Chains A and B, each alone.
Chain A
């Protein structure tokens, strides 16, 4: 896809996808990071906390399914994750039923020293069953149409 193709998709949201937060998924995610925080692992301990249930780590929403933006074909190579920014409104807890969606919210082209780059900003939204915003994330992805590394 070229810049004009991305620009046509600006502001088009995916249909929200239902995601159920599983305690096993929280534990596995915290284990992979090597974070022993008992609120992620120990149900009894979490039950005694103000949360009442296992808590998801701050970057856990990375595991959610955000659906599909019709017409968006992301390349699988030549992508670099440039930036990630989360705004948190409510904690994510085991057993939560959440709705996740995303949109392309900015696209621009730059000439870098390693060639042409397309900078894409995706906005990710997570809402609860009451329709309240739980968290929002903005992810900047650098796409080099002529190829290059990734992160």
Chain B
């Protein structure tokens, strides 16, 4: 079996997540140890001027990470991954993660792929996180 050869301009396989739920924000607070009440306590988030609870930026980053590890597969490795947090995500939002290959290099039996990655509320809509990632996958 020949591994997929990436080319600049190729899209990664997008990931569409189920709607973000309040329960998920409670679970992520517990799992991550980030107990800032703006993510879980409605009254607190309203008083902070946010209009209601918002998702942890790191949760959305975790969604993009999921897309990346699905793309990279078991034989490959994620080398770097970073994002800017651009806009707020709220319960009910359906997040789509996507990416486009920018550069491909070949090194010692691997292809090293650098791509732009992002998450948005729906395809074509405003991006909530925007970043870059580099991964490597065996050529054969």
Binding site for B on A (CB under 8 A): 25, 28-29, 31-35, 37, 39, 49-50, 57-59, 62-63, 76-77, 80-88, 91, 138, 148-151
Query: Would you call the interface of chain A mostly helix, strand, loop, or mixed?
Result: mixed
Determine if A85 and B66 form an interchain contact, defined as CB atoms under 8 angstroms apart: no
Q: What 0/1 pattern do residues 118 to 134 of B give for CB contact below 8 A with A?
A: 00000000000001000
- Select from chain B the residue with minimum beta-carbon distance to A64: B33
A84 and B88 within 8 A (CB) = no
Residues of B near A33 (CB, < 8 A) are 28, 59, 62-63, 65-66
The answer to whether A150 and B36 touch (CB under 8 A), given A35-B66, A58-B68, is yes
The tally of residues in B whose CB lies under 8 Å from a CB in A reads 41
| Contact pick for A37, options B66, B81, B85, CB 8 Å | B66
B interface residues, Cβ below 8 angstroms from A? 17-18, 24, 27-28, 30-34, 36, 38, 48-50, 54, 56-59, 61-63, 65-66, 68-70, 74-75, 77-85, 88, 131
User: Which chain B residues lie closer than 8 Å to A88 at the CB level?
Assistant: 77-81
Contact residues in A for B36 (Cβ distance below 8 Å): 76, 150
Contact A81 B50 (CB under 8 A): no
By beta carbon, the residue of chain B nearest A140 is B84
